A = this chain, B = another copy of it.
Amino acid sequence: MKSSAARAVPPGTPNEVRVGNLDNIDRAILARLQRDARMPNNAIAAEVGIAPSTCLARIRSLHTRGIIRGFYADVDPTATGRGLQALISVRIHSHARPELGQFRDYLASLPSVESIFFVSGDRDFLVHVAVADSAALRALVAENLSLRPEVAGTNTSVIFEYVRPDSRS
């Protein structure tokens, strides 16, 4: 039989090339799901060259094993009235270091927070936020960050543009 879709893997490639229990078919599935999480199981199966039932089982296994963390829609923040994005670097007082995890959870609970980077170097956290306008940004920094006892200082940069390379479904 001849598949109508392009093969997932070049013919000569050995299938034992695995990283962390993933074979090439798994990787082919992941690549497609990363580009379009709503791609039908049928279509994925056809493209990677396995039966739909097998494909479904693999996807579920990937999800269960935590290799796929979740499926998300990428929503334009401007449309939801959060047209201003910023990166706020936050320094934490050295005596508050033990509660770093707690502070991260606090950050994650703020509705304006898009993502949090816990980084090495002179700053501790880099927080990506999306807010309505500069007044909201000021309020966020002043009230929700600077006032916190753990926070030694903040530094805010406005984001002119934010690009996620593989957002194209």
Contact = CB atoms under 8 A, between A and B. Distances in A.
Given A22-B79, A117-B159, A72 B69 contact: no
Given A114-B164, A164-B114, A34 B73 contact: yes
A82 to B, nearest CB: 9
A37 to B, nearest CB: 4
Contacts of A81: 19-20
Instruction: Give the number of copies in the complex.
Output: 2
Interface of A: 19-20, 22, 27, 30, 33-38, 65-76, 78-81, 87, 104, 107-110, 113-121, 123, 126, 128, 155, 157-169
Given A19-B80, A78-B20, A70 B118 contact: no
B34 A72 contact: yes
A20 to B, nearest CB: 5
21 contacts: A19-B81, A30-B80, A34-B72, A37-B38, A37-B72, A37-B73, A38-B71, A66-B76, A67-B79, A68-B74, A69-B73, A69-B167, A70-B73, A87-B117, A104-B163, A107-B163, A115-B163, A116-B161, A116-B162, A116-B163, A119-B160
